Amino acid sequence: MNSFYLTLPMPPSINAMHDYTKRVKGKHQMGVFRSSEYTDWIQYAGIEWRRQSNFGSLAMLHGRLRAQYVFIFDSDRDQDVNNREKCLSDFLQNKLFENDCQIDESFHWRRIMRHTPPKVHCWLTEIPDQRFIDMFNPDEMRI
């Protein structure tokens, strides 16, 4: 089974991914636009991706996937990690895997490390295809 490990800067929450107004040629336009926080994160995460993947030379993961994320925060204020997983899977799509619907199992942990920049550790592992196993039938539970 192929797997890959990557450390990225902390992604913004899904609530911070979009702006609903944008100033164009001195006028405000209404709509849904990428926020500056999100575009800044995409650029920084892209730099880290290229650095850790030897400039994208890694083979893509084509099978079913298990994603494990450890979110490292620098304070103990409430942080919603579910909203950050969407940003991660969108970023990693077409870099490590073809489509985020390949992720069958997703696990995340939240940790606090003071005096450490916020970041996320990502492990993606190919797993056997178990989408058609009836988990409530003990005869089929041969994992």
pLDDT tens digit sequence for 7-64: 999 999 877 777 766 666 666 666 667 788 889 999 999 999 999 988 777 778 999 9
Question: Do 112 and 74 contact (CB within 8 A), yes or no?
Answer: yes
User: Is the pLDDT assigned to residue 109 strictly greater than 90?
Assistant: yes
pLDDT at 130: 86
Q: Is residue 118 part of a domain?
A: yes
pLDDT at 77: 81
pLDDT at 34: 78
> Who wins on pLDDT, 81 or 137?
81
Terminal Cα-to-Cα distance of the chain (whole angstroms): 15
| Domain total in the chain | 1
Amino acid at 141: M
d(CA 93, CA 108) in angstroms, rounded, equals: 18
pLDDT at 35: 84
Q: Give the structural domain span for 116.
A: 3-14+35-127
Q: Is residue 138 part of a domain?
A: no
pLDDT at 72: 95
Query: pLDDT (tens digit, 9 = 90+) per residue, 54-82?
Result: 877 777 899 999 999 999 999 888 778 88
Q: Is residue 73 part of a domain?
A: yes
Average pLDDT over residues 100-104: 94
CATH of the domain at 115: 3.30.1330.70
Q: Is residue 68 part of a domain?
A: yes
d(CA 141, CA 107) in angstroms, rounded, equals: 20
Q: Is residue 28 part of a domain?
A: no
pTM score of the predicted model: 0.81
Q: Is residue 66 part of a domain?
A: yes
pLDDT at 78: 73
SS (H, E, C) the chain: CCEEEEEEECCCCHHHCEEEEEEECCEEEEEEEECHHHHHHHHHHHHHHHHHCCCCCCCCECCEEEEEEEEEECCCCCCCHHHHHHHHHHHHECCCECCHHHEEEEEEEEEECCCCCCEEEEEEEEECCCCCCCCCCCCCCCC
